[in-house]
Chain A
Amino acid sequence: MANAIVAKRNAGKYLNTNGPEDGREEIVQPSTSLLRDLVRKKDFYAGGLMLLIGIGIALKGSTYRLGTPMHMGPGFFPTMLGVLLVLVGIAIAAPAAMPSAAGAEHDESILPEQPQWWAWFCILMSPVLFILFGRYFGMIPGTFACVFIAALGDRGATWISTIVLSTVVTIFGVVLFSYFLQVPMPILTWGGGL
């Protein structure tokens, strides 16, 4: 926690990274309710996530044969990792879960100031479309769809700029990867024989 204080101060000293957040801290007063305290604590979720993943790994890992320390089975090492992760998760979450604590500087929302749901969706959809179009229609449609949807995520994107960009990248990409690097993916196909 103190690290975070120092980190923040130094960050400010060096580059003023967290400018807007510093300002917000003053507005967000420490609330009285324990629950509301918890909701804002980034570290609480960070530790919690690690805890859950750790439990998952340990449980799943222990279904494989554990063996003895001398003859370890496939489950031994992952289970060990899972248990360690649980411990680390608790250590991360515990200070943030304390109701009072000097947690003011941890009062960070998990979402960024301006959530970019649309852009995030576009970026994550881009490889998905690449898979679908690439598999069933070939490299040209796959590439075009992939770049097209990704470019739509930008706030300043227009239809024209998006289409132009997708076309340019498609031409360049197909020439580079299909002709020069011989990536075995049909350029254009129908129905997908893959």
Chain B
Amino acid sequence: MITTALTDLWYGFGVALEPHNLMWCFVGVLVGNMVGVLPGMGPLATISILLPLTFGMKPVAAILMLAGVMYGAQYGGAICSILLNLPCHPPHAVTCLDGFPMTKQGRGGVALGLTVFASFIGASWGITEMIFLSPLLVKAALQFGPAEVCSLMLLGLLAGSTLARGSPLKGVAMTLIGLFLGSVGTDLETGSERFTFGLTELDDGIELIALALGLFGIAEFMSSVNQVAPINTRYTNVSFKDMRPTKADLKRAFFPMWRGTIVGSLCSLIPGTGPTIASFVAYAAEKKISKTPEKFGTGLIEGVVCPEAATHSSVQGDFIPTMSLGIPGDAVMALLLGALMIQGIVPGPQLISQHADIFWGLVASFWIGNILLVLLNVPLIGIWVKMLAIPYKYLYPSAMFFVCIGVYAANNDFFQVGEVVAIGAFGYVLLRLGFHPAPILLGFVLGPRFEENFRRAMLIARGDFSVFVTRPISAVFVGMCVLLIGVQVWVRIRGEKVPKIGAEPPSESPPISPQMAPQRIPATPAE
């Protein structure tokens, strides 16, 4: 089995190293890294803005580039957290705790250097996992009938909405809205139009790009406009020389790095627990086993590398269910899957065999991209830091243009630009009411396939709902769903009885909202 995996990987490197693909991987990584540094632009907004550019590309190049954008933005986010105390992207929130104190002590460069290294280790581990686990999962998944697929999707949706950020109930509500939005348009089985209100433009359903850009573009701009504090760039002079860690630093960081990696990869195996949870769990665990837990928060290198390694290993691990089962764990993965679907590729267990070039090319490009990032980050960090100074008042109007033209270019249709306005306004209302719109995307992307499998399962079972619990594999998934809900309810009740405990894992408690809130956060540690 190992030999097949290695042969496939070799083939993947062949695909990823084709000049065309390599170029787009490089572009993706570079742009992702750049935009990831820009305050207020998370990977979701970046990927959705760049999505229209990939329509003209071949599927392999498109997915390579978008994936590159995603992990490029991850690296960029760490820079923001460490140098500015701004968690541009939720997983990096915890990196601020020790990263920024290090910066204030003049050791920000070392923190950055080791972060790059830790991220690489974490990512490499995640990729290795992907190489060996995905084929196994596929083998199991090929045995699944509609009932199993359906309950597995249910598990994915539930986990994605309840374990993410904020109130689990609100997450479920968002997923339901997403599923509903996914059902707008022509019903595939009967051909009747649903929720189109007579608008022929809606026959093909709501455009994924309009939805993503409305929710993560316009709604975010509305919540950030005029709220963005000027950035303190006092500590951002980092030179290449500063980034080289001393031997003692390396030694101290070595084991935390690996521990973070392991925690991250474990987290990625649990559906729905994305990088944010992984980084928090890793930080908490590291603090627990440390001999000097009281020093965490004052600028310990362990507190930087451990969560960063966890984030990256979990992000790579998240690709496993996305690519092998076609079930994304979070909104970023849903968006990537959506991009594949736009290219006409059907996600699911057959993807690896039918589109081996995409899967193995992607795996190989992860490595190439991560090496590129390490190489890029070192000399370019100075430039990225300068980009931090771009004021928001120039940033968001320009981004508005990219939103408009991007949505237009999806179908060369102005109607969808109108869609984006409506979705954006609705998304902002949701944000104000305390919802986090990310699960909408998850529900939207999975919705049509969920409905299709649901209907098919019911048809095969002759309308008997018990099919989901009488088939053993499906029963296991349903059982996990019940367990998931049970734990949530239990945490809630226990929390209400003894509110003083407060020891719930950080997964329950978003340290920051997923929007570009960071900038509205006053730089906490007293200067």
Contacts and interface: CB of A to CB of B under 8 A. Distances in A.
A127 B394 contact: no
A173 B225 CA distance: 22
A84 B221 CA distance: 31
Interface stretch (B133-141, B319-327, B380-388, B516-524): B516-524
B187 A74 contact: yes
Contact of B463 (A16, A61, A64, A68): A68
Contact of B412 (A16, A89, A126, A185): A185
B207 to A, nearest CB: 13
Interface in A56-98: 57, 60-61, 64-65, 68-78, 81-82, 84-85, 88-89, 91-92
B313 interface: no
A119 B393 CA distance: 11
Given A3-B495, A9-B502, A116-B226, A123 B183 contact: no
A43 B190 CA distance: 38
A122 to B, nearest CB: 8
A17 interface: yes
Contacts of A64: 187, 192, 194
Contacts of A11: 509-512
**How many B residues are at the interface, by size bracket?**
35 or more
A150 B396 contact: yes
Contacts, number: 256
B225 A153 contact: yes
B405 A184 contact: no
B60 to A, nearest CB: 19
Interface in A132-181: 134-135, 142-143, 146-148, 150-151, 153-157, 161, 165-166, 169, 173, 177, 181
A49 B437 CA distance: 14
B221 A123 contact: yes
Contacts of A173: 401-402, 405
Given A74-B194, A146-B401, A6 B393 contact: no
A3 B455 contact: no
Contacts of B455: 72, 76-77
A16 B504 CA distance: 18
B81 to A, nearest CB: 11
Contacts of A111: 432
B158 to A, nearest CB: 12
Given A123-B218, A151-B397, A3 B404 contact: no
Contacts of A70: 458-459, 462-463
Most buried by B among A7, A126, A127: A127
Nearest to A73: B190
A130 B408 CA distance: 10
Contacts of B177: 50, 53, 85
Nearest to A50: B173
Most buried by B among A1, A5, A123, A182: A123
B interface majority secondary structure = helix
Contacts of B513: 17
Contacts of A146: 400-401, 404
A97 to B, nearest CB: 14
**How many A residues are at the interface, by size bracket?**
35 or more
Nearest to A9: B502
A169 B398 contact: yes
Contact of B492 (A2, A114, A165): A2
B509 A3 contact: yes
A4 interface: yes
Contacts of A2: 492, 495-496, 499
A14 interface: yes
Given A114-B226, A130-B417, A78 B183 contact: yes
Interface in B47-98: 53, 56, 87, 93-94, 96-97
Contacts of A4: 167
Interface string B472-487: 0000000000000000
Given A17-B521, A50-B173, A165 B512 contact: no
Nearest to A120: B222
Given A6-B502, A70-B458, A85-B173, A135 B414 contact: yes
B176 A126 contact: no
Contacts of A50: 173, 177
A4 B165 CA distance: 11
A114 B170 CA distance: 25
Given A82-B180, A89-B173, A169-B398, A74 B195 contact: no
A1 B227 CA distance: 28
Contact of B180 (A85, A123, A147, A161): A85
A7 to B, nearest CB: 4
Given A46-B433, A49-B433, A82-B180, A127 B397 contact: no
Interface string B135-169: 00000000000000000000000000000001111
Contacts of B454: 72, 77
A57 B522 CA distance: 41
A10 B512 CA distance: 10
A2 B401 CA distance: 42
B404 A130 contact: yes
A186 B100 CA distance: 49
A152 B353 CA distance: 52
Given A2-B496, A92-B170, A57 B418 contact: no
Contacts of A57: 180, 195
B130 interface: no
B189 interface: yes
B231 interface: no
The 8 closest A-B pairs by CB, nearest first: A2-B495, A70-B463, A69-B463, A10-B509, A154-B393, A150-B397, A151-B397, A46-B433
17 contacts: A7-B166, A10-B506, A11-B509, A14-B93, A42-B434, A43-B433, A64-B187, A73-B190, A74-B187, A75-B194, A124-B421, A124-B424, A128-B418, A130-B401, A134-B417, A156-B393, A184-B412
